[in-house]
Every structure is written in C-alpha cells, then in structure tokens.
Structure 1
C-alpha cells in the first residue's frame, strides 16, 4: 500500500497535538508494512530545520517539504475581504508548493492520499488533476467551529465582527469540501455527527488520536503532591483564553487551600503577562524539553478550555500517564470518558474549586482517577489497533 500524507506542519519532533497525530499515523502504518510519503508545508511560525531531524520514522519515509510564510499580513487580510477566499486557509497555498506536489504526483503513483486537516485542502485540485488515488480527508476538528466560539467570546466589537466574518468564510469553505473526497476520517464521534449535519454524503469513519504506550512510562516515585499543572501551546488562542480565565477567576481561591500547593504552567510561546501574575505559588515553566517527564512529575492536570473542537491530545497523553484530569466540557469533547470515573468535569469556578478540593483532601482519589484514565486510553487509543483499522479502510477503498 502506497500512501501519500499531506500535512500543514513538519510532524518532527512530535511534541504537540497535530504533529503527534500525524507522526503516530505514519508510525502505525509503517509498522504494518505500508509505504509512506510525506509532503508537508514548513511554515515560518513552526519552522523545523529538516537537516536536524533524527528520528526512526523519518528514516523510513520519503519526505518532501516546502517552506512558506503563513503569518497574517495586514494588507493581505484587508484585500481578502473583497475576495471569496477564506483567509485562514488561503495563507497555506503557494503556486510553487503546488508545482512541487505536481512533480511528486507525476513521478509516483499512490494508492491513497490523505489530507491531514483543512489547511492542506487548497492542494486538492492539484491532486485531483495529477493522481487517480483514493482521497481521504482527516478532520482533526471542525475548524470554523473554533473560530465561531472565539468570535462569540470576543468583547471588543470590531474584532468580534471580523472574527465572525472569518468564521463565516471558513464555514462556507470547509463544508463545501467534504463531498470532494472518497472518505472522511473524523477524530471523534461528535465531529462525525457534525460533519453529517453539514451535508456530507460520503462514508465517515472515526479514528481517534492513537498513542504508542511504550512511550508513556510512569514512575510514581517522581510525582510530587500537591501539584496542579497545565501544558499547551499558548499561541493557540483557546489555550491562552482558558488559562487566563482559570488564573484570574479560579486560582486566587484555590491557592488558599494549601500553602504548599503549586500550579505549574508549561508550553510554547507563553506570553509575558503570564509571568506577571501576583502569585508565589504559580510557576511558569515555559517550553519543556520532555513533556512526558514533566507530566510524570506533577499530580493533577488542569484543562480549562472555553472553546475549541476535535480532541485534546494533551488530555489523552495525561490519561496515558495516569494523571487526574480536571477539564471543562469543551476540553473533554470527543473523549469516551466518564465524569467521576476517569476524569472530572468542571465548567464553573465553583465546580473547579470543588473538584480540586476533593483531590487535595482525598489523596487516593486522584490516584484512582489516574488509574482508570490509563485503562480508558488503552481501550480507545491503542496505536496498533487503530492503525490496523485504518489500513483496512485503505484496502477496501483501493479494492472497491
């Protein structure tokens, strides 16, 4: 089976949500004997020096990348208003990148071509023109839904109206793409249901985030208690807004519960104002070298997202590390978990307070939730099982 995967980022190293999903997809398929070619955009905002990649998966695939500046340009954004294009998506398209892809398609015949997310879909016309492969769209989330929720939470009226404009354009573009593929892979059951509601008429399979559990080794002797932690990229606006809400509305009361309690925040591109909060017990770690080791050293994971869709990879990783997860309903969306069994759901300051108090006063409680969380992800997110199912779909498409 020859598969071409199109990605809007270089998934090496796999240290955040999207790269982890793409990386594990390739790893699982390689383990089953598939031949993988990766064509990816290498945007300035997440640029990877390809010469510095040392990874066993990288050594097994055929790799192609195109460096592209996808940063927001005020003039481009302004003139885009007078076009019919979605500015969110069009920033990822370049004629030279399309030509590179065309040359690749002329040289190699693929069985399956998988588009990893909406931001590589602008290359669909090129693929259709130069390949007869079966085409799959992997929906990592419902992209316009994220922007609609961000717009609704924006208080500054001019900015809210512009975000609403972007969300409308994005919705039109996104919903028009679904029926242009042979198959859709949704990342969660709620996303599958939403895609169907948007008029999708082709088969949809649900493939959740897959993890290789050999990577997630727990050493409870290195876990300090009482500790809270949050880990996530702060250049993703839902992470930033949710964390600001938690620190401003909830943390002042939480830190009074125990003088030894510490709240650790880790992630890329943490803005300066997070370092300026007046709290001695709030520790800003910044970007950490090893996210798994960081999670292992802390006890209770806080995920206070107020918007977003798809599936939170960091929650799944936290569950794999037997962490007690306290998260909003938005954050837990798409996960097959049960409140009070393998996760705690909190949507208000009072609910967060009571959940955290429960874990601080009953130390065995957070351990119990963590043990159950590991069982859940082993059941639902095993790399080998998910990869076998995906390869079966590939085979059915090609043979069908």
Structure 2
C-alpha cells in the first residue's frame, strides 16, 4: 500500500496538536508496512529547518516540502474581499509548490492520497489531474466553526464583522470541497454531525487523536503539588482568548486560596503581554523543551477554551499523563470523558474556583480522576489500533472500482 499525505506544516518535531496527529498517523501506518510519502507546505509562520530533523520516523518516509509565505498581507486581504476565495485557505497555495507536487505525482503512483486539513485542499485539482489514487480528506477542525465562535465573542464591531466575513467564506469553501473525496475522516463525533449538516454525502468515519503511549511515561515522584498548569500554542487565537479570560476573571481569586499554590503557563509563541501576569504564584515559562516532562511535573491541568473546534490534543496528552484536567465544555468537546469520572468540567468562574478548591483540599480526588483519564485515553486513542482501522478503510477504498469522482 502506497500512501501520500499532504500537510500544511512540517510535522517534525511533533510538539503541538496538528503535528502530533499527522506524525502519529505516519508512525502507525509505517508499523503496518505502509509505504508513506509526505509532502508538506513548510509555511513561514511555523517554518522548520528540514536539515535539522533527526527522527527515526522521518528516516523511514519519502519526504518533500516547499516553503510558502503565509503571512497576512493587508493589501492582499483587502483585494481578497472582492474575490470569491477564502483568504484563510488561499494563503497556503503557491503555483511553484503545485509544480513540485505535480512532479511527485508524475514520478510515482499512489493507492491513497490523504489531505491533512483544509489548507492543503487547494492542491486537490493537481491530484485529480495527475493521479488515479483514492482521495481522503481528514478534517482536523471544522474550520469555519472556529471563526464563527471567535466572531460571536468579539465585541469590537469592525473586527467582528470581518471575522464573520472570513467564517462565511470558509464555510462556503468547506461545503464546496467536502464531496470531492472518496472518504472523509472527522476527528470527533460532534464534528461528524457538523459535516453531515454541511451536506457531506461522502463516506464518513471518525478517527480521534491517536497517541503512542510508550512516550507518555508517568513518574509521580516528580509531580509537585499544589500546582496548576496550562500548556498550549499561543499563536492559536482560541488558546490566547481562553487563557486571558482565566487570568483576568478567575486567577485573582484562585491565587488567594493558598500561598503555596503555583500556576505554570507554557507554550510556544508566548505573547509578550502574558509575561506581565508573572508573579510569585504565577510562572510564565514560554516554550518548554519537553512537553511530556513539563506535564509530568505538574498536578492539575487547566484548559479554559471559550471557542474552537475539533479535538484538543493537549487534553488527550494530559489524560495520557494521568492528569486531573479542569476544562470548559468547549475544550472537552468530542472527547469521550465524563465530568467527575475522568475530567472536571467548569464553564464559569465559580465552577473553576470550586473545582480547583476540591482538587487542592482533596488530593485523592484529583489522583483518582487522573488514573481514570489514563484508562479512557488508552481505550480510545491508541495509535496502532487507529492505524489498523485506517488501513482497513484504505484497502476497502482501493478494492472498490467505482467510477472516478467528478472534478
């Protein structure tokens, strides 16, 4: 089985949500004997020096990449208003990248070509012109849903109007493209339902975030208590928005609970104003070298998301590391978890306060929730189990000699 994956960023190293999902997909397929080729848009915002990649998974695949500048250009954004394209998506398309990609398709035949997210779908026409492979689209998010929710929370009218415009364009593009594939993978059951409501008539299956649990080794002797922590990329707007809300509306009361309580904030692209919150009890670390070690060293995970879509990879990682996670309903959306059993759900300042107080005063409670979380994660998010199911679908698709999809 020869599979080509397209990604809108290089998934090495796998140190945040999207790279982790793509990386573990590759790792799982390789373990089953699949021959994997990866073509990545090495975008300017998340640029990776390919020469510095040292990873055993990387060594086992055929890798191609092309650097594309995706920085927002005010003039281009303005001109885009008068087109019929989504500016969020069109920034990832480059004619020279398409030519490189076409050469890959000419030189090798593939059984399956999988598009990892909406931002590589502009290269679908090239695939249809140069390949007879079965086409799979994996929706890491319902992209327009993220922007709709951000717009709903925006109070500055001009910005809200523009966010609503972007979300409408994204929705139109997603709905146009969704039935141009042989197979669609949603990352959660709620996202599957949204895709159906968008008019998806393509075969549709759910593939949640998958982890290699050998990587997530728990050492409770290195876990300090009482500690809270938040870990997430701060260049993703929902993370920034949620953390600001927690720090402004909730943390001042939490800080008074105990002089020994510490709250650690970490994540790449930590914006400057977050360091202004730094105090004796609140430590802003920025990007950490080893996320697993960081998670292991802290007790209670805080995920205060107010918008977003898809499945939060960091919550699955926290569950894998046996953490008690206190999260909003939005943050936990799509994850098979139950309040009070393997997670604590809090949607208001008062609910966060009560949950954190419970964890601090009842250490056995947060430890029990953490242990249950690990069991739940192992049950639903094991990489090899997911890879085997994905390969079975590939085999079925290839065996199905139906008429080719229309362009």
Q: For the residues of structure 1 that align with 2:139 and 2:97, how far apart are their CA atoms?
A: 22
Q: For the residues of structure 1 that align with 2:120 and 2:44, how far apart are their CA atoms?
A: 16
CA-CA distance at 1:280 after TM superposition: 2.5
CA-to-aligned-CA distance 1:160-191 (integer Å, 9 cap, x gap): 10111111111100111110000000000110
* Structure 2 equivalent of residue 152 of structure 1: 152
Contact 2:301 2:323 in 1 (8 A): yes
Q: For the residues of structure 2 that align with 1:103 and 1:363, how far apart are their CA atoms?
A: 58
Specify every segment of 5 or more residues in structure 2 that has no aligned partner in the other structure, as ranges.
Answer: 401-407
Q: CA RMSD in A?
A: 0.6
CA-CA distance at 1:277 after TM superposition: 2.1
The yes-or-no answer on 1:251 pairing with 2:251 is yes
TM score, norm. by length of structure 2: 0.98
* Structure 2 equivalent of residue 90 of structure 1: 90
Contact 2:93 2:122 in 1 (8 A): yes
CA-CA distance at 1:279 after TM superposition: 3.7
1:147-296 paired onto structure 2 within 5 Å: 147-277=147-277, 279-296=279-296
The yes-or-no answer on 1:303 pairing with 2:303 is yes
CA-to-aligned-CA distance 1:358-397 (integer Å, 9 cap, x gap): 1001010110000000000000001110000000000000
1:37-186 paired onto structure 2 within 5 Å: 37-186=37-186
* Structure 1 equivalent of residue 322 of structure 2: 322
SS at match of 1:331: helix
- Closer, same or farther in 2 for the Cα pair 1:365/1:110, shift >3 Å? same
Contact 2:278 2:284 in 1 (8 A): no
1:362-377 paired onto structure 2 within 5 Å: 362-377=362-377
CA-to-aligned-CA distance 1:222-268 (integer Å, 9 cap, x gap): 00000000000000000000000000000000011111000000001
SS at match of 1:172: helix
SS at match of 1:265: strand
Q: For the residues of structure 2 that align with 1:72 and 1:118, how far apart are their CA atoms?
A: 18
CA-to-aligned-CA distance 1:324-346 (integer Å, 9 cap, x gap): 00000010000000010000000
* Structure 2 equivalent of residue 351 of structure 1: 351
Q: For the residues of structure 2 that align with 1:129 and 1:331, how far apart are their CA atoms?
A: 40
- Closer, same or farther in 2 for the Cα pair 1:377/1:278, shift >3 Å? closer
SS at match of 2:377: helix
SS at match of 2:179: helix
* Structure 1 equivalent of residue 339 of structure 2: 339
| Runs ≥4 residues deviating over 6 A | none
Equivalenced residue count is 400
CA-CA distance at 1:278 after TM superposition: 6.3
Q: For the residues of structure 2 that align with 1:255 and 1:156, how far apart are their CA atoms?
A: 30
CA-to-aligned-CA distance 1:125-168 (integer Å, 9 cap, x gap): 01000000000000001000000011111111111101111111
